[in-house]
Amino acid sequence: MLEAPLPGGRGSVEPVRVSAASILLAEPRPQGSGMTKLAEIILVVLLTASLAIGLVPGASYSHQNRDITAAAPSLKFPLGTDDLGRDRLTRLLYATRISMLLAATAAAATIALAFLIGGLAGYYGGLCDRLIASILDLMLSLPWLFLLLAVRALLPLNASPVTSLIATYAMMAAVGWAAPARIVRAGVRNFRHSEFVLQARAQGCPETRVLLRHILPNLRPVLVAQFWTAIPVFILAEANLGFLGLSASDPFPTWGTLLKELQSPLLLRPEAFAPAVAIAVSLLCFKLITPWGGSQV
């Protein structure tokens, strides 16, 4: 539990208790919009269905029904089967679970890193700030796709599909913190000379405590917005890597690996577009539920 001051008031150093999770998941979010509610419902339904598929007996994302390949949608296979006879719907739901949960986890890790690094730069200023600002510029200017390709190639060959997938998201989190860190840095710099911070310091509050108890809660709107913005970014990044064959290894499905089927647009059946539709819908939903639509961040 962290204690946070009520922001804004002159000398308002009375701490309020805020859980770490609520930093990212709670308010502020625009309330009352019908579209936002709809987006939330869609995401909840998607996530619930993707979690529930594991409870359906016989639902396997890897089993090849070799006598029922490239089948059209039917009662047994509502989205048909792929070229190897695997149930498209089951694979799509497993992919939804993997892509959404791992993207959210990677986004949380990124925001934590961004707060740590951006916070240090913004709070301490001086040489530390200049050094971190240079690193931020460097991170933002490098072509990370090539690093991801290289690191992916360096993974141990016997890494299981799960390991390779986690490594992929970990890499994305490890390189994705620069943009939110820059925003955090700017935010912390604003708060550094605010009266409540000066007062906390004057009362002998240690620097770490000032950063965590007094500044972090005030940055919550920024961090929340960055978190919700990062999730679709990571979903898209994984989709890109998966499309290039550099995400999870077979037979593990992710939205990106399912998209590979679209590489031959002339051979497609309508149901092959289901992963693309799922990505588009979820990105739109994330956009809608992001505070300020993600546009003011």
Partner 1 sequence: MKNFFCRTAILAATLAGSSLAQSGGELRFCLRADPKTFDPLRVEDDNSETVRYITGGVLLRVNRKTQELSPELARSWKVDQQGRRITFHLRTGLSFSDGTPFTADDVAYTVTRLMDPKLHSATADPFRSSDAPPQIAVTARDTIAITFATPISGLERLFDQVAILSRHSPKKIAAVMGPFFVSEYKPGVEIVLSRNPYYWKLDANGQRMPYLDRIRLQIQQNRDMELVRFRRGELDLINSLDPEVFEQLARQSPESVSDAGASLESEMLWFNQVPTSAIPAHKREWFASQDFRRAVSEAINRADLVKLVYKGHAAPAAGLISPANKFWVNRSLAPHPFDARSATARLVKAGFTSHSDGLYDRAGHRVEFSVVTNAGNKTRERIAVMLQQDLEHIGIKLNVVTLDFPSLIERMTQTFQYEACLLGLTNLDLDPSAQMNVWLSSAADHQWNPNQKTPATPWEAEIDRLMRAQAAELRLAERKRLFDQVQQIVWEQEPFIYLINKNSLMAFSPQLRNQAPAAIQPQAYWNIDQMKKSTLVAGR
The answer to whether 90 contacts partner 1 (rule: CB under 8 A) is: no
The answer to whether 250 contacts partner 1 (rule: CB under 8 A) is: yes
The answer to whether 47 contacts partner 1 (rule: CB under 8 A) is: no
Integer Cα distance of 143 and 120 in angstroms: 25
Which residue, 44 or 147, is less far from partner 1 as judged by CB? Answer: 147
Q: How far, CA to CA in Å, does 186 sit from each of 49, 85, 121, 189, 213?
A: 40, 53, 9, 5, 18
Half-sphere exposure of 209 (CA within 13 A, CB side): 13
Query: Nearest distance from residue 169's CB to partner 1, in Å?
Result: 18
Give the total of residues touching partner 1 (CB under 8 A): 27
Among 263, 270, 277, 280, binds partner 1 (CB under 8 A): 263
The answer to whether 166 contacts partner 1 (rule: CB under 8 A) is: no
The answer to whether 157 contacts partner 1 (rule: CB under 8 A) is: yes
Q: Largest alpha-carbon pair distance within the chain? A: 76
State which H helix or E strand residue 203 sits in: none
Nearest to 102 by CA among 222, 239, 276, 208: 239
Query: Nearest distance from residue 226's CB to partner 1, in Å?
Result: 32
Q: Of 8-16, 29-37, 201-209, 241-249, which part binds partner 1 (CB under 8 A)? A: 241-249
Query: Nearest distance from residue 168's CB to partner 1, in Å?
Result: 13
CB 261 within 8 A of CB 78: no
Q: Of 2-10, 182-190, 229-237, 245-253, which part binds partner 1 (CB under 8 A)? A: 245-253
Which residue, 55 or 150, is less far from partner 1 as judged by CB? Answer: 150
The site string for partner 1 over 117-156 (x = CB under 8 A, - otherwise) reads: --------------------------------x---x---
Nearest to 269 by CA among 49, 53, 88: 88
171-195 core/surface letters (b: 16 or more CB in 10 A; e: else): bbbbbbbbbbbbbbbebbeebbeee
Among 37, 66, 76, 209, binds partner 1 (CB under 8 A): 66
Which residue, 206 or 245, is less far from partner 1 as judged by CB? Answer: 245
The answer to whether 244 contacts partner 1 (rule: CB under 8 A) is: yes
The tokens of 107 are what? 């986004």
CB 241 within 8 A of CB 175: no
Which residue, 127 or 157, is less far from partner 1 as judged by CB? Answer: 157
Helix, strand, or coil (residue 5): strand
Cross-strand partners of 3:
17
Query: Nearest distance from residue 267's CB to partner 1, in Å?
Result: 6
Integer Cα distance of 195 and 14 in angstroms: 13
Query: Nearest distance from residue 251's CB to partner 1, in Å?
Result: 6
Query: Nearest distance from residue 167's CB to partner 1, in Å?
Result: 12
CB 237 within 8 A of CB 172: yes
Among 83, 137, 195, 207, binds partner 1 (CB under 8 A): 83
Binding residues vs partner 1 (CB under 8 A): 62-64, 66, 69, 83-85, 149, 153, 157-161, 244-246, 249-251, 260, 263-267
